[in-house]
Amino acid sequence: MDSASVSIRVRGLRQTFGAQAVLDGVDLDVPAGTTLALLGPSGCGKSTLLKLLAGLLKPDAGRVMFGDETVADAATCVPPESRGLGMVFQDYALWPHMTVAGNVSFPLEMRGVGRRERGERVAAALARVGLDGMGARRPSALSGGQQQRIALARAIVAEPRILLFDEPLSNLDSQLRASLCDEIGGLLAQLGTTAVYVTHERKEAEALAHTIVTLAHGRVESVLHR
Ligand SMILES: Nc1ncnc2c1ncn2[C@@H]1O[C@H](COP(=O)(O)OP(=O)(O)O)[C@@H](O)[C@H]1O
Ligand SMILES: [Mg+2]
């Protein structure tokens, strides 16, 4: 697994829950180093599609490729930890019993990175998201916006080849949302990591994305290149 960004290619992706076809033949292309925003109303299958990219769900049909590698199809389902991903969720998903630095360090520990290098990389990731010097604190001692920055630092610390965002700003007030949205856009441009950014806010999609895809009724309704 290398840290250079890769393209994402999705073909004929289907996911059913009971009798409901939540995704009914979805095709997507995300060129390496670009950001695709996935728009659509609540319940249209955005999080489901993101989980399929992450390997948290196995598709009923179709294929997901990262570069030349098939990560999911009828025969294959590469586990999330082997996909080279960073993820950011709406609810931050931080571990409350760990310090800020402990949260950010976790993906490096999973990869067996030594203590000294972990310390350096955690400090660099925290600095990138504007949290220098906050490592020893508990997440609960920080504001919502700062907590989402911790999650962002944790997502980028291991230099993933793909970043996945699931409505990361929806729990924040509108002013903070706009500024953090700009920062995430700046960070993605700097890092050059391929990203899929789920939102139901068109404004966020327009601020961040090279391509805006709208989902409806389990299919891609429109693709806008910008
Ligand atoms: N694990 C699951 N089991 C059953 N139904 C699910 C499951 N996950 C999602 N769904 C259903 O799939 C649809 C799409 O959900 P989701 O992908 O979360 O939508 P979105 O993120 O766009 O709001 C919804 O109708 C939801 O209830
Ligand atoms: Mg969702």
Domain boundaries along the sequence of the chain = 1-84+161-226, 98-159
Measured in degrees and rounded to the nearest 5, phi and psi for residue 23 equal -120, 130
Q: What would the pLDDT profile of 188-203 be if each residue is shown by its tens digit?
A: 999 999 999 999 999 9
Ligand 1 midpoint to CA 10 (Å) = 19
Q: What would the pLDDT profile of 31-48 be if each residue is shown by its tens digit?
A: 999 999 999 999 999 999
The answer to whether the CB of 45 is under 6 A from ligand 1 is: yes
Asked if 27 and 9 touch (Cβ cutoff 8 Å), the reply is no
The Cα–Cα gap between 159 and 191 comes to: 9
| Ligand 1: residue whose CA is nearest its atom 2 | 17
The domain covering 1-84+161-226 belongs, at the CATH homologous superfamily level, to P-loop containing nucleotide triphosphate hydrolases (3.40.50.300)
Ligand 1 midpoint to CA 106 (Å) = 28
pLDDT bracket for residue 2 (50, 70, 90): very low
